[in-house]
Chains A and B, each alone.
Chain A
Amino acid sequence: MATQQTRSLARFMMAPSVILLFVWMIVPLLFTLWFSFQQYNPLNPIRNGFVGFSNYALFYSNPAFLSSILNTLIIVISVLVITVVGGILLAMLLDQPIWGQGVVRILVISPFFVMPPVAALVWKNMIMHPQYGVFADIARFFGAQPIDWFGQHPLTAIILIVAWQWLPFATLILLTSLQSLDGEQKEAAEMDGAGFLSRFWYLTLPHMSRAITVVILIQTIFLLSIYAEILVTTNGGPGYASTNLPFLVYQKALLEFKIGQASAGGVIAVILANIVAFFAMRAVGKNLDK
């Protein structure tokens, strides 16, 4: 039984984590909120002052704003579709009895450990470069015109790179979940004459559903804030073609010093993340109860 003494000891042991995280979350966020209602430009301090909602209006009327939100969503949804569908297929393949499974797993999981700037630069220069990249070599081999990925399809190129980074994560988690599927159940279904598709649909997929939810939620958190991949490949361009919300906020804040607008964008990013977080918390929270 927890006595008064152990309870206060527990509180004391939790205090550092809780206080640190609280300060780290609340202080900068209040700053951002405050700045979002201010005209603030470190290069032009005379005009600084309270401006109400005009930063939000400015950010909203900026043509880059809507396209950046759209780009953010396109990146998140495309990568999710590629990684979840690809991850399910790959996990089912790796779940088969194969020779050298350990090595295959290591090869498949590797991209996840590659730091984002390296992943982006390797793809940009060695794979997708319109002249010297491997894709260009392949295109020329078949007598086709190499594609200028970052000039013409910047968003697609970024989606490909990010999907490459996250496919291993999805695969690994779905495979782990798949391996906990009871073999006897599978056999029973087979004995009852269930075909491959109906086994997949009625047995495998429901079994993986929680893992799929977790994959979607965790990836969404990270995908909403893709940054380094854009910085080192397209720098948001051409124009705003590959600028997502985090990248736009970064441009406003540290390149144009429009702190008010950047902060308004930041607040919008928080709201967007909170919508996702709401669902994420419920899903993870359910797990704690068991």
Chain B
Amino acid sequence: MARAVTTQHKTIATAAAWIVALLIFFPILYTIITSFKSEQEAIQGFNLIPSGTFESYSEVQQQSGYFKFFFNSVLLSVGSTILALIVAIPAAWSMAFSPTKRTKDVLMWMLSTKMMPAVAVLFPIYLIFRDSGLLDSRIGLTVMLMLINLPIVVWMLYTYFREIPGEILEAARMDGASLWNEIIYVLTPMAIPGIASTMLLNIILAWNEAFWTIRLTTTNAAPLTAFISSFSSPQGLFWAKLSAASTLAIAPILIMGWFSQKQLVRGLTFGAVK
């Protein structure tokens, strides 16, 4: 017999859950609210109702050229993700469908590269970038972000590909499908959802990467992480502007994130929790 859920129980749980959720969300909410205040209002104590001005948004763009940084963020995160997919799809495909004794070791080794602390290689990377003129270049940073996330991309794709039944491929092969046809007509349609999820999560990770993007850029290739960090130097109390810039920086990824909750769990736990 199913457990009867009393209305009272549900009401208490609902109230508790909403209070906790709103508390957790509060800093984000307050940032959004503050972005619609004037600078004056922003420092006049706690106030949840803004006057609704858009002046901070237009000022952020005028003073700092916000959209240049936004454009760089899009370019870097999408570019590095596509690059990573191009390299990772064949690897994940071969590991999922023709595994060898060493497949597991290779996967584990790939994961281990992700565990290397970035600071350990900060200076060599800095030197290599400087000497090859890649410092503050979009190409250099795109490759960098691609390498950082490559292990996660391979892993995620591998866990998705592994769920595609191998018998289907064998059946196609029996029917005389060439390798090319096998990939185009059989594998691709079944693999697309997994690839899309991988892409989504990887864009989020690349968008929020805040070590290399800050250290290897100055102006040209600087994405939003570097732009926002520049607000940390004390330059007066420009909170409405800071809020507007922050809101713009997190909004696109927040919305993408909401759609990718399930994939997030799977991707970040390397398939260990589904």
Contact = CB atoms under 8 A, between A and B. Distances in A.
A236 interface: no
A74 to B, nearest CB: 17
Interface string B154-175: 1000000000000000000000
Q: Is the interface of A mostly helix, strand, loop or mixed?
A: helix
Interface string B22-57: 101101101100100000000101100000000000
The listed residue with most B CB atoms (<10 A of its CB), out of A122, A134, A235, A274, is A122
Interface string B105-118: 01110111111111
Interface string A148-173: 00000000000000001001110011
B243 interface: yes
A158 to B, nearest CB: 13
B253 A228 contact: no
B28 to A, nearest CB: 6
B225 interface: yes
A126 B124 contact: no
B27 A123 contact: yes
A122 B31 contact: yes
A17 B88 contact: yes
A232 B232 contact: yes
Contacts of A121: 228, 231-232, 242, 246
Contacts of B127: 31
Contacts of B31: 118, 122, 126
Category for how many chain A residues contact B: 35 or more
B211 interface: yes
A77 B150 CA distance: 28
A108 interface: yes
B67 interface: no
A139 to B, nearest CB: 11
Nearest to A260: B123
Contacts of A221: 114-115
B261 to A, nearest CB: 6
Interface stretch (B58-66, B134-142, B188-196, B266-274): B266-274
A173 B30 CA distance: 26
B232 A29 contact: no
A168 B271 CA distance: 18
B43 A132 contact: yes
The listed residue with most A CB atoms (<10 A of its CB), out of B107, B120, B265, is B120
A58 to B, nearest CB: 16
A81 interface: no
Interface residues of B, number: 96
Nearest to A259: B123
A280 B116 CA distance: 13
B119 A266 contact: yes
B91 A115 contact: no
Interface string A263-290: 1011101101110110011011101100
Contact of B115 (A114, A122, A245, A277): A277
Contacts of B239: 125-126, 132
A51 interface: no
Interface string A7-20: 10111011011101
A85 to B, nearest CB: 14
Interface of A: 2, 6-7, 9-11, 13-14, 16-18, 20-21, 24-25, 27-29, 31-32, 35, 90, 93-94, 96-101, 103-127, 132, 134, 137-138, 164, 167-169, 172-173, 176-177, 180, 187, 190, 210-211, 214, 218, 221, 224-225, 227-228, 231-233, 235, 245-246, 249-250, 253-254, 259, 262-263, 265-267, 269-270, 272-274, 276-277, 280-281, 283-285, 287-288
Given A17-B154, A172-B261, 11 more contacts: A10-B98, A14-B90, A97-B13, A113-B253, A115-B207, A118-B228, A176-B274, A180-B274, A228-B225, A269-B117, A277-B112
